Amino acid sequence: MTRQLPALIIIAPLIGTFCISIAGWINKRYCLPILIAALGISLYASIGLLGLVIQEHGVVYRLGGWDPPWGILYQVDYLNGLVLIVIAVVALINAVACRKHVLEEYPDRVGPFFTLYSLFVTGLFGIVVTADAFNLYVLLEIASLSGYAMIGMGNGRAPLAGLNYLFMGTIGASFYLLGVGYLYLVTGSLNMADIALILPDIYESRVAMTAFVICMAGLFLKMALFPLHSWMPNAYTHGSFAALGVIAPLTTKVMIYVMIRISLTVFTPSFVFDRFRIDEAIVWLAIIAIVAGSLLALSQSRLKKMLAYVIVAEIGYMVGGFWLGNRQGITGAVLHIVNDAMMTLCVFLAAGAIAYRQKGDDFEKMEGLFITMPFTMSGFVVAALSVIGVPPTCGFFSKWYLISGGIAAGQYAFVGALLLSSLVHVVLFFRIFEIAYYRPEAGHHGGGHSSSVINEAPLDMVIPLLVGAGLLVVLGLNTGFLVDRVIRFAVPAQLI
Amino acid sequence: MDELLSPILSKYNYWVYITLMMIGLYAMIAKSNLVKKIIGMNILQTAVILFYVSIGAKQGATIPIIRHGHEGAAAHAVRAADYINPLPHVLMLTAIVVSVATLGVALALAIRIYRQYGTLEEDDIATRITGDIRKSP
Read off the pLDDT of residues A71-128 as tens digits, 9 standing for 90 and up: 888 989 898 899 999 999 999 999 999 888 888 888 888 889 999 999 999 999 999 9
Which residues 6+ apart lie within 8 Å of A81 measured at CB? A46, A49, A50, A53, A486
CA pair distance A187, A445, nearest whole angstrom: 66
Q: Is B77 in a helix, a strand, or coil?
A: coil
Of A224-233, A321-330, A435-444, the poorest mean pLDDT is in: A435-444
Give me the domain span that covers residue B56: 2-62+77-135
Domain assignments of chain A as residue spans, ordered by start:
277-496
Rounded to the nearest 10°, the torsion over CA A493, A338, A239, A152 is 40
Q: Is residue B69 situated within a structural domain? A: no
Binary contact (B28, A174; C-beta < 8 A)? no
The pLDDT, as a whole number, for residue A448 is: 47
Give how many domains chain B has, as a whole number.
Answer: 1
* pLDDT for res B62: 83
d(CA A136, CA A124) in angstroms, rounded, equals 10
**pLDDT of amino acid A3:** 80
In a domain, B71, yes or no: no
More confident residue, A372 or A403: A403
**Residue B70 in domain:** no
Residue B15 covered by a domain: yes
Are A43 and A88 a contacting pair, CB within 8 Å? Answer: yes
Taking only the tens place, the pLDDT of each residue in A235-247 is: 888 888 889 999 9
Q: Stretch A434-449: mean pLDDT, rounded?
A: 60
Q: Is A60 left (phi over 0), alpha (psi -120 to 50) or beta?
A: beta
Q: How far is B82 from chain A (nearest CA, A)?
A: 17
Residues of A in contact with B109 (CB under 8 A): 148, 152, 159, 162-163, 166
pLDDT tier at A446 (50, 70, 90 boundaries)? Answer: very low
Question: B115 in a domain, yes or no?
Answer: yes
Q: Is B129 part of a structural domain of the chain?
A: yes
Instruction: Please check the confidence at residue A441 and state whether its pLDDT lies above 70.
Output: no
B127 assigned to some structural domain: yes
In this prediction, residue B69 carries a pLDDT of: 62
| Residues on B contacting A at a C-beta cutoff of 8 Å | 25, 28, 34, 37, 41, 44-45, 48, 51-52, 55, 88, 91, 94-95, 98, 101-102, 105-106, 108-110, 112-113, 116, 125, 129
Task: Please report the pLDDT score of residue A316 as a whole number.
Answer: 92
Closest residue of chain A to B24, computed from CA coordinates:
A171
CATH number reported for the structural domain that contains residue B10 in this entry: 1.10.287.3510
* pLDDT value at residue A373: 85
Report pLDDT for B22: 94
**pLDDT of A372 above 50:** yes
In chain B, what residues touch A446 (CB-CB under 8 Å)? none
Residues of chain B below pLDDT 70: 1, 67-77, 133-137
* Contact at CB, B106 and A177, closer than 8 angstroms: no
- Residue B137 has a pLDDT of 47
Give the end-to-end CA distance of chain A in Å, rounded to a whole number. Answer: 38
Decide: pTM greater than 0.90: yes
